Amino acid sequence: MEDMSAFPLEITGEDVPMVSFRKVRKAYGSLVVLDNLDLDVAAGEMVTIIGPSGSGKTTVLRMLMTLEQINGGVIYVDGQPLTHMSKGGTLVPANQRHLRKRRADIGMCFQHFNLFPHMTALENCMEGPVQVLGLPKAEARARSEELLELVGMIDKKDQHPSRLSGGQQQRVAIARALAMRPKVMLFDEVTSALDPEVIGEVTNVIRKLVSEHNLTMLMVTHQMGFARDISDRVCFFYDGKIEEQGKPADLFGNPKRERTQQFLSAVKEAV
Amino acid sequence: MFDWLFTDDWFPKFDWRWDFAWEILPRLLEATLNTLIAAAAGYLIALVVGLFLALAQRTNYRTVTFAVREFVEFVRSTPLLLQIFFIFYVGPQFGVTLSPWVSGMIAIGLHYSCYLSEVYRGGIESVPKGQWEAATALNMSTLQTYKRVVIPQAIPPAIAGLGNYLVGIFKDTPMLSVIGVAELIHTANAIGSETWRYLEAYTMVGIIFLVLSLPAAGLIRAFEGFVRRKLGM
């Protein structure tokens, strides 16, 4: 049993990080995916996670979205524990009710979009606001149309996903996630399943979000140029740990660790 | 060498009497209505209970999952006829006395719900994991996820299987004759024992079943297409 007294019931004070991983551990059986991960993301910060496959980068996002249970440590969102809840002055693993309450702060976009195929683009965006937030339909529709406008998909709002290209589906998926008004947005390899010529339309939407909205974002990507352009900070993951992190100019321009150098030169050769 | 086929002493055995057939037609049509009602009611029970049996097998409560799983296996491994007898004749010994109709509907409905639950289960399992994850990311509850995301997508691939069992339940309604439900076979038997003529009644029953079953497959396929279009898939 882990000693939970090492973890505060909530994070207070000035500059409370929007997301805080504290000694987070994730293992599948004896295979340790993430070991003692400490990572803070400030409010409004854009953090990109890069690294070779199997380094645990996607797992970081999936744990934050509560799609994966953690095996140790605590994740805090906006100062409040996400994976745990306080009970009798100590932290215990969260129940479904607590997860539903805390999860509302987080939105996520997936590599394969995962739009609901039986709903139109607009219905996909309205689903969460109507069913989960309980908004009146008119309000949810107005909000969704505004976001579809933002991602440039308003013309296609009545199309089902099967009639849309990958890039278009991903833009609808971004609008769908934003319609829930999350504080934190997670982008999990959102361009990896796209044809090269449509990657730009998705990355441009994310660029727009970064420059116009004060969202906290965590992104896993293989687009190094894109990561370098828009990130406030880049984390290089290797073997379940953060091997190196820093400003994009420093990490890409002058990597300190040997593994980072190897990874970046291998990626450069592949392009 | 086939001369015997056309001799009088063989041919009269096919003593088909149109006037008699015409005379019993109204009774058979009435019984057809009963058969259709029995099949429809049984199927409706099976559709609803089957969905619950499928969902119950997916809960996190091990005892529920286990109990339902065993129940489904038990029902699928024993004859429908036995289940009908059990509910109708053994029920009263436990203070549950039901009319033939009610016992029949319960027996056939429960029996088929177990088969339908397997069809539903297949449909639910065919929904990709990413759909569940998207629903979680939108903070939907388990109930909302099933109702709004999973079940609408699980139905279209299940329609063909569900439809096959509609024909199946229709063809199994004659089993209810053994406890006295006045469906087609029961009525044909009654006509036979009253008049000692079986040829017309049984032939007509066969034709009625054929006429109603044959278009079913086509209709089910058309319905599946309709649902898929309706859902935009």
Residues A116-143 pLDDT 10s: 999 999 999 999 999 999 999 999 999 9
Indicate the residue of A118, A128, A132 with minimum beta-carbon distance to B153: A118
B15 inside domain: no
Contact between chains at A67 and B136 (C-beta distance less than 8 A): yes
B185 inside domain: yes
What are the C-alpha distances in Å from A197 to residues A201, A258, B146? 9, 33, 36
Q: With bands split at pLDDT 50, 70 and 90, how would you rate the model's confidence at A4? A: confident
- Looking at beta carbons, which residues of chain A come within 8 Å of B232? 117-120, 160, 162
Indicate the residue of B130, B142, B149 with minimum beta-carbon distance to A110: B130
CA nearest to A79, candidates A25, A34, A41: A41
How many angstroms separate the CA atoms of A66 and A102, rounded? Answer: 10
Give the tens place of pLDDT for each residue, B47-61: 999 999 999 998 888
Counted domains in chain B: 1
The edge-to-edge listing of strands for the beta sheet with A19-28 is A31-41, A19-28, A72-77, A80-81
Give the tens place of pLDDT for each residue, B66-114: 999 999 999 999 999 999 999 999 988 888 888 888 999 999 999 999 9
Run of H or E residues at B192: helix B184-195
B210 inside domain: yes
Contact between chains at B133 and A160 (C-beta distance less than 8 A): no
Whether residue B7 is predicted with pLDDT greater than 70 in this model: the reply is no
Minimal Cα distance from B144: which residue of A? Answer: A131
Whether residue B16 is predicted with pLDDT greater than 90 in this model: the reply is no
Q: Is B65 an 8 Å CB contact of chain A?
A: no
Structure tokens at A74: 């605590």
Contact between chains at A160 and B140 (C-beta distance less than 8 A): no
CATH of the domain at B197: 1.10.3720.10
Minimal Cα distance from B130: which residue of A? Answer: A114
Whether residue B12 is predicted with pLDDT greater than 60 in this model: the reply is no
Q: With bands split at pLDDT 50, 70 and 90, how would you rate the model's confidence at B1? A: low
Chain centroid to CA A5: 28
Share the mean pLDDT of chain A: 93
How many angstroms separate the CA atoms of B185 and B174, rounded? Answer: 6
Chain centroid to CA A237: 15
B2 inside domain: no
Q: What is the mean pLDDT of residues B22-49?
A: 91
Run of H or E residues at B194: helix B184-195
Q: What is the mean pLDDT of residues A83-98?
A: 92
* Parallel/antiparallel/unpaired status of strands A216-220 and A46-50: parallel
Instruction: Measure in Å the smallest separation between the Cα of A97 and chain B Cα atoms.
Output: 9
B10 inside domain: no
pLDDT of residue B4: 66
What are the C-alpha distances in Å from B126 to residues A156, A258, A269, B122? 28, 45, 40, 6
Class of domain A1-6+16-105+185-271: alpha beta
pLDDT of residue A55: 85
Give the bridge partners for A219, in sequence order: A48, A187
Domain boundaries, chain A: 1-6+16-105+185-271, 113-181
Contact between chains at B136 and A120 (C-beta distance less than 8 A): no
- Write b or e for each residue in B141-179: b if 16 or more Cβ atoms lie within 10 A of its Cβ, otherwise e: bbebbbebbbbbbbbbbbbebbbebbbebbebbbbbbeb
Print the SS3 string covering chain A: CCCHHHCCCCCCCCCCCCEEEEEEEEEECCEEEEEEEEEEECCCCEEEEECCCCCCHHHHHHHHCCCCCCCEEEEEECCEECCEEEECCEEEECCHHHHHHHHCCEEEECCCCCCCCCCCHHHHHHHHHHHCCCCCHHHHHHHHHHHHHHCCCHHHCCCCHHHCCHHHHHHHHHHHHHCCCCCEEEEECCCCCCCHHHHHHHHHHHHHHHHHCCCEEEEECCCHHHHHHHCCEEEEEECCEEEEEECHHHHHHCCCCHHHHHHHHHHHHHC
- Write b or e for each residue in A121-142: b if 16 or more Cβ atoms lie within 10 A of its Cβ, otherwise e: bbbbbbbbbbbbbebeeeebbe
Q: With bands split at pLDDT 50, 70 and 90, how would you rate the model's confidence at A246? A: very high
A16, burial (CB in 10 Å: exposed 0-12, middle 13-18, buried 19+): middle
Whether residue B190 is predicted with pLDDT greater than 80 in this model: the reply is yes
pLDDT of residue A110: 96
Give the tens place of pLDDT for each residue, A40-66: 999 999 999 999 988 889 999 999 999
Structure tokens at A84: 């745990």
Instruction: Measure in Å the smallest separation between the Cα of B153 and chain A Cα atoms.
Output: 7
Indicate the residue of B130, B136, B142 with minimum beta-carbon distance to A112: B130
Instruction: Measure in Å the smallest separation between the Cα of B233 and chain A Cα atoms.
Output: 6
B16 inside domain: no
Structure tokens at B161: 């299987």
Q: What is the mean pLDDT of residues B19-35?
A: 88
| CA end-to-end distance (rounded Å), chain B | 61
Domain that holds residue B188: 23-230
Query: How much of chain A exceeds pLDDT 70, in percent?
Result: 99
B18 inside domain: no
Q: Is B153 an 8 Å CB contact of chain A?
A: yes
